[in-house]
Chain A
Protein backbone atom coordinates (compact mmCIF):
# COMPACT_ATOMS: atom_id res chain seq x y z
CA UNK A 1 0.00 0.00 0.00
CA UNK A 2 1.23 3.46 -0.84
CA UNK A 3 2.05 5.12 2.48
CA UNK A 4 0.60 8.45 1.39
CA UNK A 5 -2.76 7.00 0.40
CA UNK A 6 -5.58 8.13 2.71
CA UNK A 7 -5.55 4.80 4.58
CA UNK A 8 -1.77 4.70 4.72
CA UNK A 9 -1.63 8.13 6.31
CA UNK A 10 -4.28 7.23 8.89
CA UNK A 11 -2.32 4.13 9.84
CA UNK A 12 0.93 6.11 10.01
CA UNK A 13 -0.71 8.67 12.29
CA UNK A 14 -1.94 5.96 14.66
CA UNK A 15 1.70 5.12 15.46
CA UNK A 16 1.92 8.51 17.09
CA UNK A 17 -0.66 7.51 19.73
CA UNK A 18 1.63 5.01 21.42
CA UNK A 19 5.32 4.55 22.28
CA UNK A 20 6.91 4.00 18.90
CA UNK A 21 10.55 3.63 17.92
CA UNK A 22 11.25 5.22 14.54
CA UNK A 23 14.02 3.39 12.68
CA UNK A 24 15.70 4.09 9.38
CA UNK A 25 18.10 2.41 7.04
CA UNK A 26 20.88 4.73 5.85
CA UNK A 27 22.00 4.27 2.24
CA UNK A 28 19.14 4.78 -0.15
CA UNK A 29 16.86 5.92 2.66
CA UNK A 30 18.34 8.77 4.69
CA UNK A 31 20.95 9.36 2.01
CA UNK A 32 20.82 8.88 -1.74
CA UNK A 33 22.62 5.95 -3.34
CA UNK A 34 25.91 7.25 -4.75
CA UNK A 35 28.63 5.82 -6.96
CA UNK A 36 31.28 5.97 -4.23
CA UNK A 37 29.98 4.82 -0.82
CA UNK A 38 32.28 7.29 0.94
CA UNK A 39 30.47 10.15 -0.83
CA UNK A 40 27.08 9.32 0.70
CA UNK A 41 25.81 12.16 2.85
CA UNK A 42 22.70 12.99 4.81
CA UNK A 43 21.52 16.42 3.67
CA UNK A 44 21.29 19.24 6.24
CA UNK A 45 17.49 19.25 5.84
CA UNK A 46 17.23 15.52 6.58
CA UNK A 47 19.72 15.78 9.41
CA UNK A 48 17.75 18.59 10.98
CA UNK A 49 14.47 16.67 10.75
CA UNK A 50 15.97 13.49 12.21
CA UNK A 51 17.47 15.51 15.03
CA UNK A 52 14.07 17.11 15.73
CA UNK A 53 12.44 13.70 15.71
CA UNK A 54 15.13 12.31 18.00
CA UNK A 55 14.21 14.96 20.58
CA UNK A 56 10.64 13.66 20.67
CA UNK A 57 10.99 9.87 20.38
CA UNK A 58 13.72 7.23 20.24
CA UNK A 59 15.25 7.06 16.76
CA UNK A 60 17.39 4.23 15.40
CA UNK A 61 19.54 4.16 12.29
CA UNK A 62 20.35 0.58 11.27
CA UNK A 63 22.87 0.19 8.48
CA UNK A 64 25.18 -2.23 6.78
CA UNK A 65 28.01 0.30 7.13
CA UNK A 66 30.53 -0.14 9.91
CA UNK A 67 29.58 1.72 13.07
CA UNK A 68 32.52 4.13 12.81
CA UNK A 69 31.63 4.89 9.21
CA UNK A 70 27.98 5.44 10.14
CA UNK A 71 28.86 7.74 13.06
CA UNK A 72 30.91 9.91 10.71
CA UNK A 73 27.78 10.66 8.67
CA UNK A 74 25.97 12.39 11.54
CA UNK A 75 26.79 15.59 13.40
CA UNK A 76 24.62 14.45 16.30
CA UNK A 77 24.02 11.06 17.91
CA UNK A 78 20.65 9.39 17.24
CA UNK A 79 19.37 7.31 20.15
CA UNK A 80 20.52 4.11 18.46
CA UNK A 81 23.16 3.78 15.78
CA UNK A 82 23.59 0.21 14.60
CA UNK A 83 26.19 -0.82 12.06
CA UNK A 84 27.35 -3.87 10.22
CA UNK A 85 23.81 -5.19 9.65
CA UNK A 86 23.22 -5.43 13.40
CA UNK A 87 26.66 -6.63 14.50
CA UNK A 88 27.72 -3.31 16.05
CA UNK A 89 26.05 -0.74 18.24
CA UNK A 90 23.79 -2.72 20.56
CA UNK A 91 25.70 -4.18 23.43
CA UNK A 92 23.35 -7.04 24.25
CA UNK A 93 23.18 -8.45 20.76
CA UNK A 94 26.63 -9.68 19.90
CA UNK A 95 28.97 -11.77 21.98
CA UNK A 96 31.22 -13.21 19.28
CA UNK A 97 32.73 -10.11 17.72
CA UNK A 98 36.29 -11.48 17.89
CA UNK A 99 35.25 -14.58 16.00
CA UNK A 100 33.39 -12.54 13.39
CA UNK A 101 36.44 -10.31 12.97
CA UNK A 102 38.70 -13.29 12.46
CA UNK A 103 36.31 -14.96 9.99
CA UNK A 104 35.83 -11.73 8.07
CA UNK A 105 39.60 -11.35 7.81
CA UNK A 106 39.89 -14.87 6.42
CA UNK A 107 37.21 -14.18 3.85
CA UNK A 108 38.94 -11.02 2.74
CA UNK A 109 42.15 -12.95 2.07
CA UNK A 110 40.30 -15.63 0.14
CA UNK A 111 38.38 -13.06 -1.92
CA UNK A 112 41.49 -11.01 -2.71
CA UNK A 113 43.28 -14.16 -3.83
CA UNK A 114 40.39 -15.10 -6.13
CA UNK A 115 40.08 -11.60 -7.59
CA UNK A 116 43.78 -11.59 -8.42
CA UNK A 117 43.27 -14.49 -10.83
CA UNK A 118 42.64 -13.81 -14.48
CA UNK A 119 39.17 -15.36 -14.37
CA UNK A 120 37.79 -12.79 -11.94
CA UNK A 121 39.78 -9.66 -12.66
CA UNK A 122 37.61 -6.57 -12.93
CA UNK A 123 38.82 -3.06 -12.19
CA UNK A 124 35.34 -2.01 -11.15
CA UNK A 125 35.12 -4.40 -8.19
CA UNK A 126 36.00 -3.25 -4.68
CA UNK A 127 36.11 -5.15 -1.41
CA UNK A 128 34.98 -3.08 1.54
CA UNK A 129 36.33 -4.35 4.85
CA UNK A 130 33.88 -3.49 7.62
CA UNK A 131 35.88 -5.36 10.23
CA UNK A 132 33.10 -7.84 11.07
CA UNK A 133 31.71 -8.30 7.58
CA UNK A 134 32.62 -7.55 3.98
CA UNK A 135 30.91 -5.91 1.07
CA UNK A 136 31.75 -6.68 -2.55
CA UNK A 137 30.92 -3.54 -4.54
CA UNK A 138 30.56 -3.72 -8.31
CA UNK A 139 28.80 -0.47 -9.12
CA UNK A 140 31.83 0.78 -11.01
CA UNK A 141 32.18 -2.36 -13.13
CA UNK A 142 31.52 -1.94 -16.83
CA UNK A 143 30.05 -5.42 -16.97
CA UNK A 144 27.85 -5.49 -13.89
CA UNK A 145 26.06 -8.72 -14.74
CA UNK A 146 29.32 -10.63 -15.15
CA UNK A 147 30.82 -8.97 -12.08
CA UNK A 148 27.83 -10.04 -9.98
CA UNK A 149 28.00 -13.65 -11.20
CA UNK A 150 31.73 -13.83 -10.53
CA UNK A 151 31.40 -12.32 -7.08
CA UNK A 152 28.67 -14.79 -6.21
CA UNK A 153 30.97 -17.62 -7.31
CA UNK A 154 33.68 -16.27 -5.04
CA UNK A 155 31.21 -15.81 -2.18
CA UNK A 156 29.90 -19.36 -2.57
CA UNK A 157 33.42 -20.72 -2.25
CA UNK A 158 34.32 -18.85 0.94
CA UNK A 159 35.14 -20.85 4.04
CA UNK A 160 33.46 -20.90 6.48
CA UNK A 161 30.31 -20.31 4.45
CA UNK A 162 28.96 -16.81 4.96
CA UNK A 163 25.48 -15.45 4.88
CA UNK A 164 25.20 -13.72 1.50
CA UNK A 165 22.81 -10.81 1.23
CA UNK A 166 22.39 -8.97 -2.04
CA UNK A 167 22.14 -5.20 -2.20
CA UNK A 168 22.14 -2.57 -4.91
CA UNK A 169 25.31 -3.33 -6.85
CA UNK A 170 26.77 -4.86 -3.71
CA UNK A 171 27.03 -8.33 -2.24
CA UNK A 172 27.16 -8.40 1.55
CA UNK A 173 29.22 -11.13 3.18
CA UNK A 174 28.02 -11.54 6.75
CA UNK A 175 28.94 -14.08 9.43
CA UNK A 176 26.44 -16.88 9.87
CA UNK A 177 24.95 -17.01 13.34
CA UNK A 178 25.30 -13.27 13.77
CA UNK A 179 22.37 -10.92 14.24
CA UNK A 180 20.71 -9.12 11.36
CA UNK A 181 18.85 -5.85 11.00
CA UNK A 182 15.63 -7.42 12.21
CA UNK A 183 17.17 -8.66 15.44
CA UNK A 184 18.83 -5.29 15.95
CA UNK A 185 15.48 -3.54 15.59
CA UNK A 186 13.85 -5.87 18.11
CA UNK A 187 16.70 -5.25 20.55
CA UNK A 188 16.38 -1.48 20.12
CA UNK A 189 12.61 -1.75 20.70
CA UNK A 190 13.18 -3.67 23.87
CA UNK A 191 15.81 -1.19 25.08
CA UNK A 192 13.53 1.75 24.34
CA UNK A 193 10.46 0.12 25.90
CA UNK A 194 8.62 0.75 22.64
CA UNK A 195 5.27 -0.88 21.95
CA UNK A 196 5.61 -0.38 18.21
CA UNK A 197 8.35 0.26 15.67
CA UNK A 198 8.35 2.06 12.35
CA UNK A 199 11.05 0.92 9.93
CA UNK A 200 11.87 2.23 6.48
CA UNK A 201 14.52 0.84 4.13
CA UNK A 202 15.21 0.36 0.46
CA UNK A 203 17.21 -2.79 0.00
CA UNK A 204 17.34 -6.56 0.21
CA UNK A 205 19.10 -6.31 3.56
CA UNK A 206 16.04 -4.54 4.91
CA UNK A 207 13.94 -7.60 4.14
CA UNK A 208 15.33 -9.05 7.38
CA UNK A 209 13.16 -6.44 9.08
CA UNK A 210 10.25 -6.57 6.65
CA UNK A 211 9.99 -10.33 7.01
CA UNK A 212 9.91 -10.36 10.82
CA UNK A 213 6.75 -12.18 11.96
CA UNK A 214 5.99 -9.40 14.44
CA UNK A 215 2.87 -7.30 14.04
CA UNK A 216 4.41 -4.58 16.18
CA UNK A 217 6.59 -3.50 13.26
CA UNK A 218 5.25 -1.06 10.67
CA UNK A 219 7.30 -1.64 7.54
CA UNK A 220 7.88 0.71 4.62
CA UNK A 221 9.98 0.18 1.52
CA UNK A 222 11.57 2.96 -0.48
CA UNK A 223 10.43 2.09 -3.97
CA UNK A 224 7.58 -0.32 -4.68
CA UNK A 225 8.54 -3.94 -5.14
CA UNK A 226 5.88 -6.63 -5.46
CA UNK A 227 7.84 -9.39 -3.78
CA UNK A 228 8.97 -7.27 -0.83
CA UNK A 229 7.60 -8.21 2.58
CA UNK A 230 7.16 -4.54 3.47
CA UNK A 231 3.50 -3.63 3.96
CA UNK A 232 3.84 -0.07 2.69
CA UNK A 233 5.99 1.81 0.21
CA UNK A 234 6.98 5.31 -0.74
CA UNK A 235 7.87 6.07 -4.33
CA UNK A 236 11.48 7.17 -3.92
CA UNK A 237 14.15 8.45 -1.55
CA UNK A 238 12.85 12.01 -1.89
CA UNK A 239 9.58 10.93 -0.28
CA UNK A 240 11.47 9.82 2.83
CA UNK A 241 11.70 13.53 3.65
CA UNK A 242 7.91 13.75 3.39
CA UNK A 243 7.61 10.75 5.75
CA UNK A 244 9.75 12.41 8.41
CA UNK A 245 8.07 15.80 8.06
CA UNK A 246 4.66 14.13 8.30
CA UNK A 247 5.66 12.32 11.49
CA UNK A 248 7.06 15.57 12.92
CA UNK A 249 3.79 17.34 12.13
CA UNK A 250 1.94 15.01 14.51
CA UNK A 251 4.18 16.08 17.33
CA UNK A 252 3.74 19.75 16.60
CA UNK A 253 -0.04 19.14 16.58
CA UNK A 254 -0.26 20.62 13.09
CA UNK A 255 -1.67 17.66 11.22
CA UNK A 256 -0.51 17.79 7.65
CA UNK A 257 -3.29 17.74 5.10
CA UNK A 258 -0.88 17.73 2.17
CA UNK A 259 -1.28 14.03 1.57
CA UNK A 260 -5.02 13.93 2.02
CA UNK A 261 -5.72 13.85 -1.67
CA UNK A 262 -2.99 11.41 -2.57
CA UNK A 263 -4.01 8.32 -4.55
Chain B
Protein backbone atom coordinates (compact mmCIF):
# COMPACT_ATOMS: atom_id res chain seq x y z
CA UNK B 1 0.00 0.00 0.00
CA UNK B 2 1.46 3.36 -0.99
CA UNK B 3 2.11 6.00 1.64
CA UNK B 4 0.36 9.09 0.28
CA UNK B 5 2.67 11.37 2.31
CA UNK B 6 5.79 9.86 0.65
CA UNK B 7 4.16 10.05 -2.78
CA UNK B 8 3.83 13.82 -2.33
CA UNK B 9 7.58 14.46 -2.38
CA UNK B 10 8.95 11.42 -4.22
CA UNK B 11 7.24 12.08 -7.53
CA UNK B 12 8.30 15.74 -7.84
CA UNK B 13 11.81 14.82 -6.69
CA UNK B 14 12.03 12.06 -9.26
CA UNK B 15 10.81 14.47 -11.93
CA UNK B 16 13.41 17.01 -10.86
CA UNK B 17 16.13 14.39 -11.13
CA UNK B 18 14.92 13.46 -14.59
CA UNK B 19 15.05 17.12 -15.57
CA UNK B 20 18.62 17.26 -14.30
CA UNK B 21 19.61 14.17 -16.30
CA UNK B 22 17.97 15.46 -19.47
CA UNK B 23 19.67 18.80 -18.93
CA UNK B 24 23.04 17.10 -18.66
CA UNK B 25 22.42 15.24 -21.93
CA UNK B 26 21.43 18.46 -23.68
CA UNK B 27 24.51 20.15 -22.24
CA UNK B 28 26.80 17.41 -23.62
CA UNK B 29 25.15 17.57 -27.03
CA UNK B 30 25.44 21.36 -27.16
CA UNK B 31 29.08 21.26 -26.06
CA UNK B 32 29.81 18.73 -28.81
CA UNK B 33 28.03 20.89 -31.38
CA UNK B 34 29.13 24.40 -30.31
CA UNK B 35 32.30 23.72 -28.35
CA UNK B 36 30.93 25.46 -25.28
CA UNK B 37 29.11 23.92 -22.33
CA UNK B 38 26.23 25.68 -20.63
CA UNK B 39 28.38 26.30 -17.55
CA UNK B 40 31.03 27.92 -19.72
CA UNK B 41 28.38 29.95 -21.52
CA UNK B 42 27.03 31.09 -18.15
CA UNK B 43 30.53 32.10 -17.06
CA UNK B 44 31.16 34.09 -20.25
CA UNK B 45 27.73 35.72 -20.02
CA UNK B 46 28.35 36.77 -16.42
CA UNK B 47 31.84 37.98 -17.20
CA UNK B 48 30.58 40.12 -20.07
CA UNK B 49 28.69 42.23 -17.53
CA UNK B 50 31.67 42.37 -15.12
CA UNK B 51 34.81 43.25 -17.11
CA UNK B 52 38.15 43.33 -15.31
CA UNK B 53 36.74 41.57 -12.25
CA UNK B 54 38.51 39.56 -9.56
CA UNK B 55 37.92 35.78 -9.49
CA UNK B 56 36.38 35.81 -6.02
CA UNK B 57 33.75 38.31 -7.07
CA UNK B 58 33.10 36.38 -10.28
CA UNK B 59 32.69 33.12 -8.33
CA UNK B 60 30.17 34.81 -6.02
CA UNK B 61 28.21 36.15 -8.99
CA UNK B 62 28.15 32.66 -10.51
CA UNK B 63 27.26 30.97 -7.21
CA UNK B 64 30.19 28.56 -7.37
CA UNK B 65 33.38 28.06 -5.40
CA UNK B 66 36.65 29.61 -6.50
CA UNK B 67 38.06 26.11 -6.98
CA UNK B 68 35.32 25.22 -9.48
CA UNK B 69 35.76 28.57 -11.17
CA UNK B 70 39.51 28.04 -11.52
CA UNK B 71 38.99 24.87 -13.58
CA UNK B 72 36.56 26.59 -15.93
CA UNK B 73 38.81 29.61 -16.18
CA UNK B 74 41.77 27.48 -17.20
CA UNK B 75 39.78 25.84 -20.01
CA UNK B 76 38.40 29.13 -21.28
CA UNK B 77 41.76 30.86 -21.05
CA UNK B 78 43.36 28.07 -23.12
CA UNK B 79 40.71 28.70 -25.78
CA UNK B 80 41.53 32.44 -25.60
CA UNK B 81 37.94 33.24 -24.69
CA UNK B 82 38.92 35.01 -21.48
CA UNK B 83 41.93 37.01 -20.39
CA UNK B 84 43.42 36.33 -16.96
CA UNK B 85 46.14 38.73 -15.88
CA UNK B 86 47.74 40.21 -12.80
CA UNK B 87 45.87 42.99 -11.05
CA UNK B 88 47.90 46.09 -11.96
CA UNK B 89 47.92 47.29 -8.34
CA UNK B 90 48.48 43.91 -6.65
CA UNK B 91 50.41 41.17 -8.44
CA UNK B 92 49.14 38.64 -5.87
CA UNK B 93 45.66 39.03 -7.33
CA UNK B 94 44.22 38.30 -10.75
CA UNK B 95 41.61 40.02 -12.86
CA UNK B 96 39.53 38.41 -15.56
CA UNK B 97 37.87 39.80 -18.68
CA UNK B 98 36.11 38.57 -21.76
CA UNK B 99 38.27 38.67 -24.90
CA UNK B 100 37.11 39.64 -28.36
CA UNK B 101 37.02 35.94 -29.29
CA UNK B 102 35.08 35.23 -26.13
CA UNK B 103 32.50 37.88 -27.04
CA UNK B 104 32.13 36.45 -30.52
CA UNK B 105 31.70 32.88 -29.23
CA UNK B 106 29.29 34.06 -26.56
CA UNK B 107 27.11 35.84 -29.11
CA UNK B 108 27.15 32.83 -31.45
CA UNK B 109 26.39 30.32 -28.70
CA UNK B 110 23.64 32.48 -27.22
CA UNK B 111 21.93 32.43 -30.61
CA UNK B 112 22.22 28.62 -30.67
CA UNK B 113 21.01 28.20 -27.09
CA UNK B 114 18.08 30.46 -27.80
CA UNK B 115 16.80 27.99 -30.40
CA UNK B 116 16.97 25.17 -27.87
CA UNK B 117 15.72 26.95 -24.79
CA UNK B 118 13.33 29.56 -26.20
CA UNK B 119 10.46 27.66 -24.62
CA UNK B 120 11.73 28.48 -21.16
CA UNK B 121 10.46 32.01 -21.65
CA UNK B 122 7.61 32.50 -19.27
CA UNK B 123 8.73 29.79 -16.87
CA UNK B 124 10.65 32.20 -14.63
CA UNK B 125 8.04 31.86 -11.91
CA UNK B 126 8.06 28.08 -11.41
CA UNK B 127 11.86 27.91 -11.82
CA UNK B 128 12.30 30.69 -9.25
CA UNK B 129 10.05 28.75 -6.88
CA UNK B 130 12.13 25.59 -7.23
CA UNK B 131 15.35 27.55 -6.85
CA UNK B 132 14.02 29.34 -3.76
CA UNK B 133 12.89 26.08 -2.24
CA UNK B 134 16.24 24.34 -2.79
CA UNK B 135 18.17 27.38 -1.59
CA UNK B 136 16.30 27.12 1.67
CA UNK B 137 17.79 23.66 2.08
CA UNK B 138 21.31 25.15 2.45
CA UNK B 139 22.27 24.05 -1.02
CA UNK B 140 24.43 26.74 -2.65
CA UNK B 141 22.61 27.72 -5.85
Contacts and interface: CB of A to CB of B under 8 A. Distances in A.
Interface of A: 1, 7, 10-11, 13-15, 17-18, 195-196, 215-216, 218, 229, 231-232, 255
B38 interface: no
A215 B53 contact: yes
A11 B87 contact: no
A18 B95 contact: no
Contacts of B83: 7, 10-11, 14
A215 B57 contact: yes
A229 B89 CA distance: 8
Interface of B: 48-54, 57, 83, 85, 87-89, 95, 97-100, 103
A232 B88 contact: yes
A102 B72 CA distance: 58
A215 B54 contact: yes
7 contacts: A11-B52, A11-B95, A14-B97, A18-B50, A196-B51, A215-B54, A232-B88
Contact of B87 (A13, A14, A218, A231): A231
Nearest to A218: B52
A85 B76 CA distance: 42
Contacts of A196: 50-51
Contact of A17 (B54, B57, B95, B98): B98
Most chain A CB neighbours (cut-off 10 Å) among B83, B88, B95: B88
A17 B88 contact: no
Contacts of B100: 10, 13, 255
Contacts of A13: 100
B51 A1 contact: no
A7 B97 CA distance: 10
Contacts of B51: 11, 14-15, 17-18, 196, 218
B89 A17 contact: no
A61 B89 CA distance: 25
Contact of A231 (B48, B89, B99): B89
Given A11-B95, A14-B98, 17 more contacts: A10-B97, A11-B52, A11-B85, A11-B97, A13-B100, A14-B51, A14-B83, A14-B97, A14-B99, A18-B48, A18-B49, A18-B50, A196-B50, A215-B53, A229-B89, A231-B87, A231-B89
A232 B99 CA distance: 18
A50 B83 CA distance: 29
B97 A1 contact: no
B99 A10 contact: yes
B97 A195 contact: no
B111 to A, nearest CB: 16
B50 A195 contact: yes
B84 to A, nearest CB: 10
B61 to A, nearest CB: 11
Ranked nearest first, the 9 interchain pairs of A and B with the lowest CB-CB distance are: A14-B51, A1-B88, A14-B97, A231-B88, A18-B49, A17-B48, A7-B85, A11-B52, A10-B83
